[in-house]
Chain A
């Protein structure tokens, strides 16, 4: 195992309580940060090279640097704990077991940004985690880490949890802001960016749970030390939530730059494919990223070993690469049907489209219908090209990236596994063994 900065104490009994968290070095980073200038805290994060862990990988220090500071207007930090990207379950794990790590990160990050009221937007389904956070926040108030004049620094902060109610799109930062304002989760057109006009029109930074948590070790060890971990512009550690057909599903903290082969096959991590089956494909960074066939995951198109880093995973662009994304790592073995898997994700995006942009609203529905038809053995050869055509007309033509998130999996599945689609179309009697269960009349097609 590499360095464990976020999960180091995750199995310490009672770590969710303030006393045990403190006994294990907790709130030291906050004490240190409060003795620094706000801009110095931002500088440490800049030096660390930390990139957003929510999926887009945008440099966190730079994002913080963009926050507008108009006179007399409050600023806000909002933690994105909406975690809904299929395959991703790292934030839940972290919050559930070590809530104070997030809370400490929220306090020091709010200090750096000059925010006096901050929110943790947590998806509604995670009510039990909400309770854990509420309890931990109360403990932090009682100990003087929240509220007025924190640790005598003169800095005031109120931190609140806000419960969502079931909508993947609310993970998109501007939809999240709308939702926090008590509205439908319709993404906003950017610009203006949240850093200028976010929640209630005020400058706002939205950061993922893991990003905020990572600021704690960064302040403890210093940005430069943090930047020494990892490879190139992929600094530090990353939580990967591994699932699907593997022996050891779970959340792993890896040093960025670990070899993909080691991550998938070593017993310390995924432990290889379940039931002695063959490795077929992987969706390496949450359902939105392009799927990769086994060989292209282990080695780049140039034949170099692929690494778990932002750059290496995207080597080859969308032709032969993918993305690190949120770290949702879904492994498919030889028995998995790529077409069926794609249909499931496409159905998901159709269901979750907010409906503002026609290419996304209609396109995802059309793609779902066509995939349904193919799975039922009623597809035509031209359907495959039609699918590819539709996705290309969603990509880049929508308000928010959900459109792309729906398009890329389709493009990559056809690019790498076209044969499989053709088999469904040409030999349905051989392939379509079980009647495509998800027939429209069976499972509720939730009303839009």
Chain B
């Protein structure tokens, strides 16, 4: 990555507020929320220079960031498409047809689970239980849960995201109201 890695002033102000949520000297607690911010700001994934940057803000070792980033499934350590489609693959969703949804998306986008379309638009990722089993099968895109999905509604969804401002499809934890 050649461009300079830096949070915007707005994000930086948020980072400072987040750090204040934890007792003095316990600022490492802000790491996971900060990695969400970093992922959002830097194209939806965590490249190692990004993680080094986060480490430098928290004044911790880079390895402390890597070991955390690699533990949590929401942190992407590889580039992802502008639109990350997360399909729940756990028991209840699976019982009610998630398997067909995955196949359908794979066929439609000509990619396999974990892959990104050549135009960089979509990444398909199967994930574990999203706590929405009553409206299974469920697909998450960005913040939004799409529930009771069928192959038809998946097609509509993909069409919709194709024309949307892709940035909105990533997590946006910025509008938090912290005292």
Contact = CB atoms under 8 A, between A and B. Distances in A.
B92 A330 contact: yes
A352 B91 CA distance: 14
A162 B31 contact: no
A137 B178 CA distance: 9
A341 B114 contact: no
Given A130-B176, A131-B175, A181 B73 contact: no
B133 A437 contact: no
A57 B12 CA distance: 42
Contacts of B135: 249
A127 B29 contact: no
B23 interface: yes
B73 A164 contact: no
A379 to B, nearest CB: 20
A168 B129 contact: yes
Nearest to B128: A348
B179 to A, nearest CB: 6
A100 interface: no
B131 A348 contact: no
Interface string B40-74: 00000000000000000000000010011001111
Interface residues of B, number: 55
28 contacts: A84-B128, A87-B129, A87-B133, A88-B131, A89-B134, A92-B132, A117-B23, A125-B74, A126-B131, A130-B173, A135-B177, A165-B36, A166-B127, A181-B26, A182-B31, A243-B92, A243-B136, A249-B133, A249-B135, A287-B90, A287-B129, A336-B95, A344-B89, A348-B129, A351-B128, A354-B71, A443-B89, A443-B102
Interface of A: 74, 83-89, 91-92, 117, 123-128, 130-131, 134-135, 137-138, 141, 147, 158, 160, 162-168, 179-185, 200, 241-245, 249-251, 283, 287, 328, 330, 332, 336, 341, 344-345, 348, 351-352, 354, 437-438, 442-444, 446
Interface of B: 21, 23, 26, 28-33, 35-36, 64, 67-68, 71-75, 89-92, 94-96, 99, 102-103, 112-114, 125-136, 140, 143-145, 171, 173, 175-179
